[in-house]
Amino acid sequence: MTDDNKPVDEHSGLQTTGHSWDGISELNNPLPRWWLYTWYITIGIAVIYMILMPAIPALPGLGTNTPGLRNHSDRDNVSLAISEMQQKRQSDATALLDASLRDIETDRDLQQFALAMGESLFGDNCATCHGAGGRGAKGYPVLADDIWLWDGTLEGIETTLRHGIRHEEDEDTRFSAMPRFGQDGFLTAAQISDLTEYVLHLSDRSDDPEAVERASGNWVAQCSSCHGDQGKGDRTQGAPDLTDADWLFGDSKRDIFDTIYHARNSHMPAWEGRLDDASIKALAVYVHSLGGGE
């Protein structure tokens, strides 16, 4: 690369590029070999890449982008992956339909699928009432504990989902009706006040033993058929245990008085017909897994 016309630097004896800035000139050193070859190789790779792979943006003059010899397309790959996943999901959903609830819980793959499906269905259909993850709210039972109003087994939960609770249009719905003791005039406000003390005493929170004593006759006559002699509840009637610290409608004197006076008889929609069978199964498995499934 020496050029006889270029001046030579007098200190180093090397040729310069011939340009001079304020008396400073640059030595015309050759590029290091390793650098030069690496550079040639990258140019080669770029050309090969452009031939094989789609060139983005389009090469000038070609109008559209060139697909390359390998005809590679990220878009096609993504839609292929999606359709494969949909096929897998379809076959998982069919498997869900064919399997019994117990089978689903023992087959890891199927269980994972059911849980994922159940979780998203729960967010869409159930969380408005039962809260995210089934943590419950006043009047809406916690589903993530081991306290059940009705049957907490897999099959029991499925039945609850299918037919709802006090859902008039479904003749297989879970049903019971606590009388509206005050509102319908079965008991006086004073009697209900005493019964409130009685309920409080079931969880050791009453400080009025005389009221409890006065209410005990009414408890046996009016309440124990559903809530049990000891107040432990009865799942065949959806009657809650009144001796624990779990309260559906609030644990204050006021709340308990109101419950006895008006009765709540709350309602849960039936999902049969609104959700398909695979979805109901997936939801049953999901709810069962939340922590308190039996």
Closest distance to ligand HEC from the beta carbon of 234 (Å): 8
User: Which of 104, 114, 117, 256 is the binder for ligand HEC (CB under 6 A)?
Assistant: 256
Cα dist from 76 to 52, 71, 86, 89, 167, whole Å:
17, 10, 15, 20, 48
Q: Are 260 and 193 in contact (CB under 8 A)?
A: no
- Residues in contact with 251: Cβ distance below 8 Å, sequence separation at least 6, in sequence order: 245
Closest distance to ligand HEC from the beta carbon of 196 (Å): 8
- Of 67, 75, 65, 73, which is closest to residue 51 (Cα–Cα)? 67
Determine, following the binding rule CB under 6 A, whether residue 240 of this chain makes contact with ligand HEC: yes
Over the range 151-180, which residues count as b (16 or more CB within 10 Å of their CB) and which as e? bbebebbbbbbbbbbbbeebeebbbeebeb
**Using CA atoms, how far apart are residues 94 and 83, in angstroms rounded to an integer?**
16
Residues 137 to 176: which contact ligand HEC by CB under 6 A? 139-141, 143, 148-150, 157, 160-161, 165, 176
Q: Are 18 and 6 in contact (CB under 8 A)?
A: yes
User: Which of 199, 200, 211, 270 is the binder for ligand HEC (CB under 6 A)?
Assistant: 199
Which is closer to ligand HEC, CB of 9 or CB of 255? 255
Query: Cα dihedral angle (208, 213, 214, 217), rounded to 10 degrees?
Result: 140
Encoded amino acid at 72, one letter: H
Task: Select the span of 3-11, 62-70, 87-95, 246-254 touching ligand HEC (CB under 6 A).
Answer: 246-254
Q: Are 121 and 279 in contact (CB under 8 A)?
A: yes
User: Which of 283, 285, 290, 293 is the binder for ligand HEC (CB under 6 A)?
Assistant: 283
Task: Select the span of 12-20, 22-30, 68-76, 119-127 touching ligand HEC (CB under 6 A).
Answer: 119-127
Which is closer to ligand HEC, CB of 15 or CB of 136? 136
Residues 206 to 235: which contact ligand HEC by CB under 6 A? 222-223, 225-227
Residues 74 to 103: which contact ligand HEC by CB under 6 A? none
Closest distance to ligand HEC from the beta carbon of 88 (Å): 24
- Of 147, 164, 144, which is closest to residue 288 (Cα–Cα)? 144
What tokens were used for 117? 């499906």
Task: Select the span of 35-43, 55-63, 98-106, 254-262 touching ligand HEC (CB under 6 A).
Answer: 254-262
Which is closer to ligand HEC, CB of 110 or CB of 270? 270
- Of 202, 117, 207, 102, which is closest to residue 157 (Cα–Cα)? 102
Task: Report the interface residues with ligand HEC, using CB under 6 A.
Answer: 122, 125-126, 128-130, 139-141, 143, 148-150, 157, 160-161, 165, 176-179, 181, 195, 199, 222-223, 225-227, 237-240, 242, 247-249, 256, 259-260, 264-266, 268-269, 271, 283, 287
